[in-house]
Structure 1
């Protein structure tokens, strides 16, 4: 780039009391800029969070604290950075994010934002810093095996700043009209599972008699799913933590559909999956966590609970045209289930890590 690098300033974001209040001007401008960044990368707002979701999701909880910063050039917000730190477990780590509008990259703004949030993390005693890059298929650095190459967007920035690629996640999309094979897949899954398991379902709030079971399963997500080279410790989940996540989801304006498999002989919940819906994006849903407890694998439960949730989504939310999901590339079993269901790769996320001595 030639010419004078514009002056910029970095400011900490102070979360407003509400979306419409007089103290929300910076937040409203920032969320609009973040939507623009998603459009620049992905060409749609499928992966964008609503303003309500961002506002509720960025508030501190007993389990996680966040700080957000933005960069201005000529009075306009052009960049954003955040630092999220776990408070109950993984207290050696911080999750960082840095984004700059395309027309303002390679001007030192991203580096300044990164130094700001790295400083926040280190001030809180964090010595393992984690971040991610996004790689749509068809863009530079995507579409190759693994989906992230040295010339991919953000890759040079991560490498220059001492981050190493530790895991690649596949971002996939399902056209909800693609259900021709579902009946066959469901029949096969039920033939394995029906004698020993049954499927339960709920919306938003786990029934009280199952909440301890759900806490156990959700704790396993941190240990039983592949993490590549990322340093992740087991998370401690209990009923209070499940309820806090449910409360945050509702505050974000989202609806969660949950399907779980119950072991008939013990009454234990042994598998679950969740789909999130945001009314600000009625055309798309997100299939999020899916887990089958290790002693109960091999009985078609992953397929069974995912199909149950997708069938329910079809019936209750016919306006949804697409479902998004993410899987670690090394999670071959769950990837295989999603491929059979009709999910197709739309891009990749690179998961990066840096150790501070």
Structure 2
């Protein structure tokens, strides 16, 4: 093997290079997560060529054997509370695994990770699969195990989505930007997700404010994603008591992705979580009846898969600098 690793500038890559990256991603993911949807080529490449992902600034690397692409890697550098973390993904073609390709890719990434002041490297792998064994061999440790769920909307019973809000609450919905009269209370509702379990992961839930909500909305627009929100508003106070969020990826309208759902502690037990999710399903199936076929649950913002795998292990490795 004549292995070479180095940075990859997707925005300047040739059509053949982009196709090779896409093909490797599809085949390696299918080996580990055979139930995953296959993203359309145009949608995948559109996202790959953007310097900013939904988590933060992104850098890419490749491994080649005699010029043939056999491995890829990405590192995302989140801002704010999680700026000390680098979130990585390493993929190696199945026929070239256990030959040191992933380790060489990680070594190629380390100078950039160090230069950005990151102290923790985080990533995810399927439990019991090659990726988990590789990370443990390198000294990563499992910090949390999570399940991902995939709902085929076309086979679901729509009667399950006929759930009205509790008395004293009404349903509000919007696309991308929260209404000005709700953005303050929406920020407070977003903070309600902070009591969700993160195991031993170093991930810090954001401290949401109205300003931060607007920053997040602007970043999502930059990535090209469309985000839909459904909220339960308490009519007495005119404040958001619960919400759910769905992401639609450009050129990938057959699938959508579940983002956060949260209910403020003082309003839990009233069925508001079910009510906002049911309203979201009615909205999606009415508005996009011929396009949306599946809904996938995402992990928290720091550890989201684009997949419906049965179980994922989120691993972290610390670096002494």
Give the TM-score taking structure 2 as reference length. 0.84
Name the SS for the 2:147 alignment partner. strand
Task: Kindly state the Cα deviation for residue 8 of structure 1 after the two structures are TM-superposed.
Answer: 1.3
Is there any run of 5+ residues in structure 2 with no aligned partner, and where? 301-307
Alignment match of 1:284 (pick from 243, 250, 255): 255
Q: Do the aligned partners of residues 101 and 23 (structure 1) sit closer, same or farther apart at CA in structure 2, a change above 3 Å counting? A: closer
Task: Kindly state the Cα deviation for residue 176 of structure 1 after the two structures are TM-superposed.
Answer: 1.3
Please name the residue that 2:129 is paired with: 152
Alignment match of 2:7 (pick from 12, 21, 28): 12
Please name the residue that 2:142 is paired with: 165
Alignment match of 2:59 (pick from 40, 47, 67): 67
Distance 2:145 2:75 in 1: 21
In the alignment, is the contact (CA less than 8 A) between 2:144 and 2:314 conserved in 1? yes
Task: Kindly state the Cα deviation for residue 231 of structure 1 after the two structures are TM-superposed.
Answer: 1.5
Q: Do the aligned partners of residues 29 and 184 (structure 1) sit closer, same or farther apart at CA in structure 2, a change above 3 Å counting? A: closer
Q: Does the alignment pair 1:243 with 2:214?
A: yes
Q: Do the aligned partners of residues 130 and 246 (structure 1) sit closer, same or farther apart at CA in structure 2, a change above 3 Å counting? A: same
Q: Does the alignment pair 1:323 with 2:295?
A: yes
Distance 2:57 2:225 in 1: 20
Distance 2:112 2:319 in 1: 13
1:112-134 CA-to-partner distances (Å, cap 9, x unmatched) read 11223244323322222211003
1:3-54 CA-to-partner distances (Å, cap 9, x unmatched) read xxx11111212252xxxx7777645543443233333333366264622223
In the alignment, is the contact (CA less than 8 A) between 1:217 and 1:270 conserved in 2? yes
Please name the residue that 1:332 is paired with: none
Please name the residue that 1:211 is paired with: 183
Task: Kindly state the Cα deviation for residue 104 of structure 1 after the two structures are TM-superposed.
Answer: 1.5
Alignment match of 1:80 (pick from 61, 64, 72): 72
Task: Kindly state the Cα deviation for residue 327 of structure 1 after the two structures are TM-superposed.
Answer: 5.6
Task: Kindly state the Cα deviation for residue 216 of structure 1 after the two structures are TM-superposed.
Answer: 3.2
Alignment match of 1:196 (pick from 155, 158, 168): 168
Distance 1:14 1:111 in 2: 20
Distance 1:287 1:87 in 2: 22
Distance 2:38 2:236 in 1: 40
Aligned CA-pair RMSD: 2.8
In the alignment, is the contact (CA less than 8 A) between 2:166 and 2:272 conserved in 1? no
Distance 1:259 1:274 in 2: 7
In the alignment, is the contact (CA less than 8 A) between 2:256 and 2:294 conserved in 1? yes
Please name the residue that 2:152 is paired with: 175
Distance 1:89 1:268 in 2: 27
Task: Kindly state the Cα deviation for residue 161 of structure 1 after the two structures are TM-superposed.
Answer: 0.7
Task: Kindly state the Cα deviation for residue 201 of structure 1 after the two structures are TM-superposed.
Answer: 0.7
Please name the residue that 1:40 is paired with: 31
In the alignment, is the contact (CA less than 8 A) between 1:53 and 1:251 conserved in 2? no
Please name the residue that 2:240 is paired with: 269
Alignment match of 2:273 (pick from 287, 290, 302): 302
Q: Do the aligned partners of residues 307 and 70 (structure 1) sit closer, same or farther apart at CA in structure 2, a change above 3 Å counting? A: same
Q: Do the aligned partners of residues 297 and 207 (structure 1) sit closer, same or farther apart at CA in structure 2, a change above 3 Å counting? A: same
Name the SS for the 1:237 alignment partner. coil
Q: How many residues align?
A: 309
In the alignment, is the contact (CA less than 8 A) between 1:257 and 1:275 conserved in 2? yes
1:281-336 CA-to-partner distances (Å, cap 9, x unmatched) read 332222222111222211111111111111111111112222111368xxxxxxxx
Q: Do the aligned partners of residues 195 and 173 (structure 1) sit closer, same or farther apart at CA in structure 2, a change above 3 Å counting? A: same
Give the TM-score taking structure 1 as reference length. 0.77
